[in-house]
Structure 1
Amino acid sequence: MKNQLTHEASAFINFRNYNFRAPRSHGYRWVDIKHLRIPAESGGAHELLAALIAHEQFRDDYAGGGVLSEGSRHGPYWLRLVTPGAYKTVSREKSASILWGWVNQFEDVPAKLRADLQQEVFDRLSAADHICYLSDLGDEAIHDWGRVHEHFHEFVLIDRSDGRITLLVAADD
């Protein structure tokens, strides 16, 4: 790609910040969203995924360490084993079904959380031209403490009309 992706903004939705009616017996749940600007001369989805994987913002273990420029982990996986080929194209409907299933797995969520998720996650899914879902890479790809995440859902949203690629991770630990 002639020009690299440029990190534009991030958002973090922490489920602990919302008032649930019932006490929860499960761990922490959250959604991490990273927006990157697509260069005008960007290629296809495979090329954009390669550029995203190479980007510093991708080096995040999602376990409290944040982005590490020299990091070797991505979520539960060794970074070197995450490739563009590990992503599968999914429909808007399939991606929304996966995410709503994860969101509602324990109980109905408060109205404010539902509204924030709609704005930050589901509206972006609806606007995306192309959605990629990171497949389960298998046990050999999980790093030394990667099983800290009970569920780990990663989507890459390509929205050419907005000139943006969004890395969306929904997980619990």
Structure 2
Amino acid sequence: MTEIDFIDRTFVNFRDHPFSDGQGHGFRWVDLKAFRFPQDSQDPDLLAAVVAHEQFRDDYAGGGVDPDGSRHGPYWLHAVKPDEYQSVSKVETALVLEEWANQYGCLPDSLEDALKETLLTAVESASRIYRLRDLGSGAFHDWGGVHRDFHEFVAIDDDRQVLTLLVAADD
């Protein structure tokens, strides 16, 4: 199996960027986890490697990474399989993320800049992108409905040999 090495995590919290109306527009955030992968790795192997990685065991609801965990976002870990990721274009990915980010109105400049530097840079530099399809409520773990929105993408950058797990959600 292909091995990937965790590099770092970037977290953008909407509450850290004041909106003109003084509201943070809910508990929304973006989480990016970057991994280095070996040259000539194949996409199915990379998707399997990220799903198997310890950093993938994250409920994205404040619990953080649990090495022995059984949850991933709103889903039971066992429900998330590499073949649940579907290839998407950069344009489609950017559109989904921009609509999600702007769903309550215009973003403050500081937040827009932070999202461009992190999220949109990862999308733009990707060679290929995969999106985790909606697995449905049947795959939810015991409190999996806590996220109103949950968007997950895997961006693969062949030039840098970096895979980025992108999660944009709320809780």
Question: Which TM-score band (shorter chain)?
Answer: over 0.9
Partner of residue 91 from structure 2, selected from 93, 98, 106: 93
Distance 1:20 1:90 in 2: 31
The root-mean-square deviation of aligned C-alpha atoms, in Å, is 1.2
- d(CA) in 1 for partners of 2:15, 2:137: 30
How do 1:7-156 residues align onto structure 2 when only pairs under 5 Å count?
A: 7-24=6-23, 26-42=25-41, 44-156=42-154
C-alpha displacement of 1:139: 1.6
Over 2 Å off, 4+ runs:
23-27
Specify the SS of the correspondent of 1:39.
Answer: coil
Distance apart, 1:45 and its partner CA: 1.2
1:34–1:19 Cα change, 3 Å: same
8 Å CA contact retained: 2:73, 2:144: yes
- The alignment partner of 2:10 has SS state of strand
Superposed displacement of residue 12, structure 1: 0.2
Partner of 2:160: 162
> Residues 6 and 25 from structure 1, CA distance in 2 versus in 1: closer, same or farther, beyond 3 angstroms?
closer
Bigger Cα displacement from structure 2, 24-33 vs 97-106: 24-33
- Any gaps of 5 or more consecutive residues in structure 2? none
How many residue pairs get aligned? The number is: 171
CA positional deviation for 1:25: 8.0
Query: 2-side partners of 1:41 and 1:95: how far apart?
Result: 24
Is 1:172 the counterpart of 2:155 in the alignment? no
Does structure 1 retain, via aligned residues, the 8 Å contact 2:33–2:166?
A: yes
Q: With the length of structure 2 as denominator, give the TM-score of the two structures.
A: 0.96
Give ranges in structure 1 of 5+ residues lacking alignment: none
- Aligned residues: percent identity? 49
CA deviation after TM superposition for structure 1 residue 27, in Å:
2.4
Q: Name the CA distance, whole Å, in 2 between partners of 1:83 and 1:49.
A: 8
Give the TM-score normalised by structure 1: 0.95
AA of the residue aligned to 1:122: L
